Structure formats: C-alpha cells, structure tokens
Structure 1
Amino acid sequence: MTRSAYLIIAQLVLSICCFAQQRPQYTQYIFNNYLLNPAISGIENYADVKVGYRKQWAGIDNAPQTSFVTAHWNLGADYLWKNALSLPDKGDDPMSRNYMQNYTSSPAHHGMGVTAVYDEVGPLSRLDANLTYAYHLQLSNAFNLSVGVAAGVSRVALDINALTFEDQTRTDPSISNGIASQLKPDLGFGVWLYSGRLFAGASVQQVLQQKLSFTNDRNYKAGKEVPHFFVTAGYRLYIDDVISATPSIMLKQVSPAPASIDVNLKMSFKDRFWVGGSYRKDDSFSALAGINVSKLLNLTYAYDFTTSGLNQVSNGSHEIVLGIQLNNIYEVFSTTRMW
C-alpha cells in the first residue's frame, strides 16, 4: 500500500471523526446498552461491570481503537425482584420460558453508575468520563420505564507532532499556535422501556455542542461537537424451553452523516452460551459469540467483516468484552436481560 493511500485513509478517518461520528462505534452494545443509554443504570439486581476493547479496521495504521470500563448498580438496601414470583431459585436460569411466565416488573427504584471510554484515531484521542443516574418507574405488573441522565467531562487531545503535511513550509491554520488538549463538559439523556421479553429505548449523547479547536485563532470555527441520537428495540422469542432468539434493531443519527441502521440476532442456549450476527447498513456484517463462565464472569467476542470501500485495506474489526457480576446473590450464571 502506497504512502499516499495511507494519507487518504487517514484524512477520511479524521474527517469522519471531526465532522460526523465523534463517539466510538461498538458492535457489542447489544450486551451493554448502558454504554449508550444512562436509563439502564441499576436495571439489574447486582452490580454489572464490563471492561472492553475494540480494534477497528485492523491492518490500517492509526485506525480507531477503543477501551472502556462501565459499572452500574441499583441504589438501596433491598434487592430487586425479591418476591418468589419474580426470582428463580439459586442456580436456575432467570431467563427460561418457565420463569418468564411468572415475571413481574421490579418495584420503583433508583440506579447509578460510571462510564469511562478512551478512544484513539490517529493523532486524535478522546477520554469521556461520566456519572449516570436513573429512576425506574413501575408502569404495570409487567413493565418498567426508566429515565436516566449522564453527566461528566470529555478530554479531547491532538498529538501535533504526529501530523505530517505535504507542504512543510506552511502550517494549517486550525492547529497554528496549537492547543495540545481541551476539557469540555458532557451531558446525555435516555429513556428505557422494558419487560420480561421486550425492550425499547432512546438516548442522546453529547447534548452540549461544544466548540472543538486546537488553535487560538478566533476566526477558526469549523470544529464542534454534535449530538448523537440512538433508538433501539428488541424482543425475546422462545424456540423451546432452553433455546431463545432475540432480534433487535438500532438506529443511530449523527448529523451531517446519513443515519446508520443495525439489525441484530442473538441465539442463546440456557443463557449459558450464545451466538449472534449483526448487519450494519453499508458498513459491515458481524459475528458474535459469548459464554457465561460462572456466576461471576462472562466473556463475549465480535468480529466485523467490512463491506464498505475500506475492505480493500482492512482486515475487519475485533471487539472483546469481559463482564463481571458483583454481589450476584442468587448465584445464577446470567441474570442479564434479553440483550
């Protein structure tokens, strides 16, 4: 691959990052929608911790790579779904068809959590750290509705020494008198409707449209943060008593880029093993697999097959996530809901 080709790809990545998609992209949000929606804070009856890493477009130098840590838990001394009709015996599958026949919604409660996401794209890096809060309202015997907010800071940095210009005698005005990094406030909102089988939610990240500039030149006004909108829904179907299928869909809008649509399917066996697939319009096909190792640990992996023009130079994308279920008092392999 020629040097000029690398530069073209780098410019493409930078333009996408600066003027459209500014937050990282994930394939396994299906198993951790909390990354995108703060209304999920405290939805489980244990502390849900996840640590993940994504290598996007492997084979391309300076392509995006993302690391994240998330944790959320319910507030209060009482565990959720404490009555006999809404919790299985220790070690039973909480998502089995028999259990779902007796599912009852959780009582109204509060939840909170924290997220930290570090993303690198060539010379650009970004750290987003947020504290989240959600209130879960009991709508009926089967449904809950939660509303959540995420607030924190974003640190955006540019490694000016890593930039190479065709004409070394001139300096791009956007980085003249360069600023190495900048700290911006961050704010997001979300809503989440859920029952034993169905979930649907909407959220917005980066509500505060902060100016992004690495120069002290007041005439430079090209860079700014833009809101990221997400809408998702899914439903769990039972093929038999131990095998379930969960189709879901995600719509993402980040102006001025066209809307992105993901269609997903997860097949689960006793919620102990699962495999799945995902299609992102005009971008990729993905294969996913996971295992609940124990009542404490679960592990998931995804591989994206690139279908865009980048497939000529990319070896696809890899994503791996380790989940930890702290204070899992009912000792089930996975009390995580259908996603």
Structure 2
Amino acid sequence: MQKASAQIRPLGTQYYENQYISNPAFAGMDQGMNINISYRNQWRSIPGSPVTMAVSGDYRVVDKVGVGFNVYNDKAGLIGRTRVMGTYAYHLPLNIDNRELHFGISLGMMKERLDEQSIIATPDDIAAARYNQRKSYVDGDFGIAYTTDRLTLQAALPNLKKFFKKDEMNAVMGSTYLAAVSYKIGTTLDVVSIEPKISFRGAKDIDNIWDIGTNLKLENNLVSFLGMYHSDKSSTFGVGINYENFFIQGFYTSQLAGERQRTGGDFEINLKINLLKDQRR
C-alpha cells in the first residue's frame, strides 16, 4: 500500500487568496461572495501520484455573521478521501482602527476509501474490505483570527475528530494545528504592496513544518507574485492575474528534501470568482 502525505502539503492558495480553506474564521471576512476552485497534481511523473480538487465558497450574510462551504477530494495511490464541510463564522468588531476578532467552526462529513481494484495482492484482501466497510464520519475544524488593516494573527485546529477518537486504520498523516502571522506593507493603490508571512503547521507522525515568505501585488492587485520557503526544504512559487471579478493563480512547489529526482514537482491552479461585491459594505 502506498503512503499518502498529500494532506501535509497544503494548497498554495490557502496562504493568501483563500485562507478560509485552512481556517474557518475567514468565512465571510472579505468583501463579496468568494468562490474558489482549485486543482493540484503532485509528483505527476509517478503513477498514482496525489491529485487534489477543492471547491469552496464564503459570504458574510449579515453584519457579523459569515457562512461558507468546502468540498475537498484527494486521491493518493490507493487511498481516496472526500470531505464536505459547512462553516459558521462570527466577526466581532473592536471599534478601534478596524480591528476585529473572528471565530469560525466547520462541521461536515469525511469519507475515506481504498481502491480495491488497483491492489496488487491476494484477491479479496480482508484488510482492504474492512477499510472500505467503514462508514462516513463527522469531522470538523475550529479557527480564530485577529485582524487590523495590516496585521493578521490566526490559529486553527483542523480534523477535530482525532481529538475525540483515535483511528488506527487511518493511513493518511494529518495536520494537528496551524498558527500564522502576516503584516501588510502598502495598499492596493500603491505601485507595489507586500505581505510577509510566517506560519507553523503541526503534523502527525512527522516533524512540524514552518513556512516563511511573502505575497507581492502590483497596483490595484492586477498581478501578484508569491514565494514561500518551507522547513522541509521545499519552496512554493505562484503568480496571479486579476481581471474584474476573476482572479486566476498558478503555483509550482519544488520537491521535498529526500524525494527521488524527476518526480515532476507539484502544479496547482486556482480560480477565484468574486460576486455581489457592489452590494457589500
């Protein structure tokens, strides 16, 4: 059975453009209704390489309440996972220089399945059959954030199920926590604005990972450039183009230290659509 570690390497869009997928407190934080569609292919030169697809949306329905949804599908080797989540977020103004506290919780269902037809082993493998007999289970995420016009502090606990019940048959390594801080320098009206960021990601069964980098945007956010270095000695680079209500962004992530050569790296593309912006605050 192949070992799947796609869950540890997050989608590149979660660092800046779609932070909601890693922290439910960001649901409805930005102006308008945001729809994001992401596709990623890791180590594409290797058969059975991980493929991830995600669709999410978030919107602030009233002054202090945001909602969102997140559908995530990941297939790595023989293991496939589908996760469907709904989110409620509360945004509390502190009435001082646009400072706010944000709280969010996501609840939904997770389904994991083994591709029995692709197993090269004894027919009617009992362990594989037992794995697929498991029912979908309830899962959730919790997140908080503090924001000003420039500063963002955040923390999140993903995959809450593991805190309540350990699953010995779960073959996919999982994240245990996320903490991050970023600071904006410049505004959308400046010729160039940047937002340095550092984050820490707890991980099950492997060393924790830190990420450091920045997002650079040209005037009116027409073009953006992202660069992140990860403590596992890989790097992520991204470029995005904004046109009216559409933002398309592509990412490339280099190989992890110790991975075999010519695996092809990771390629990701994300489309962000912003709707109802003129009706927002």
- 1:23 deviates by 6.3
**Alignment counterpart, residue 160 of structure 1, candidates 92, 111, 116:** 116
Larger radius of gyration: 1
Displacement, 1:28? Answer: 2.1
- Please identify, of 270-279 and 180-189, the stretch whose mean Cα deviation from structure 2 is larger: 180-189
Q: Which whole-Å deviations, capped at 9, do the CAs of 1:182-209 have from their partners, x for residues lacking one?
A: 3010111000111111111000111112
Q: Are 1:114 and 2:69 an aligned pair? A: yes
Matches of 2:106 and 2:160, distance apart in 1: 10
Normalising by the residue count of structure 1, what TM-score does the alignment of the two structures yield? 0.74
CA RMSD of aligned residues (A): 2.5
Q: Secondary structure at the match of 1:309?
A: coil
Where in structure 2 are there 5+ consecutive unaligned residues? none
What is the match of residue 88 of structure 2? Answer: 133
Q: Matched residues in 2 for 1:169 and 1:326: separation?
A: 51
Aligned equivalents of 2:240 and 2:196: distance in 1?
16
TM-score, normalised by the number of residues in structure 2: 0.89
Amino acid at match of 2:184: R
Does residue 183 of structure 2 align to residue 235 of structure 1?
yes
**In the superposition, relative to structure 1, how do residues 116 and 176 fare at CA in structure 2: closer, same or farther (>3 Å)?**
closer
Equivalent-residue separation in structure 2 for 1:131 and 1:145 (angstroms) = 20
Say whether residues 1:55 and 2:41 are aligned partners.
yes
2:239 — aligned with what?
289
Do the aligned partners of 2:112 and 2:132 also contact (CA within 8 Å) in 1?
A: no
2:14 to 26, 29, 35: 29
Q: Give distance in 1, aligned partners of 2:8 and 2:248.
A: 24
Correspondence 1:184 to 2:133: no
> Is residue 312 from structure 1 mapped to residue 261 from structure 2 by the alignment?
yes
- Contact 2:87–2:105 (Cα < 8 Å) also in 1: yes
- Distance in 1, matches of 2:275 and 2:257, equals 40
Q: Offset at 1:275? A: 1.0
Q: CA deviation at 1:255?
A: 2.1
Counterpart-to-counterpart distance in 1, 2:252 and 2:9: 16
Taking structure 1 as reference, are residues 264 and 311 closer, same or farther at Cα in structure 2, changes over 3 Å only?
farther
Gaps (5+ residues) in structure 1? 1-9, 77-107, 213-220
TM-superposition CA deviations, 1:149-208 (whole Å, max 9, x none):
00000011111121113xx4895x633555356301011100011111111100011111
Equivalent residue in structure 2 for 1:203, among 153, 156, 161: 156
Q: Is the 8 A contact 2:24 2:87 kept in 1?
A: yes
Mean Cα deviation higher: 263-272 or 226-235 = 226-235
- The question of whether the paired residues in 2 share the 8 Å contact of 1:157 and 1:182 is answered with no
Q: Find the aligned partners of 1:229 and 1:248 in 2 and give their Cα distance.
A: 17
| Cα offsets for 1:45-87 (capped at 9, x unmatched) | 31011111011112111111100111000012xxxxxxxxxxx
SS at match of 2:149: coil
Cα shift at 1:238:
2.8
Kindly indicate whether the alpha-carbon contact (under 8 Å) linking 1:158 and 1:180 is maintained by their aligned counterparts in 2: no
Equivalent-residue separation in structure 1 for 2:183 and 2:223 (angstroms): 18
CA contact under 8 A between 2:114 and 2:128: conserved in structure 1?
Answer: no
Compute the displacement of 1:304 (Å): 1.0
8 Å CA contact 1:208, 1:227 repeated in 2: no
Q: CA deviation at 1:127?
A: 0.7
Q: CA deviation at 1:222?
A: 4.8
Equivalent pair of 2:190/2:218 in contact (CA under 8 Å): no
The letter for the 2-side match of 1:202 is: A
4+ runs of 1 displaced by more than 6 Å?
none
Q: CA separation of 1:237/1:300 partners in 2, compared to 1, >3 Å: closer, same or farther? A: same
Distance 2:107 2:86 in 1: 6
Give the letter for the 1:245 counterpart: I
Change (3 A) 1:308 1:182: farther
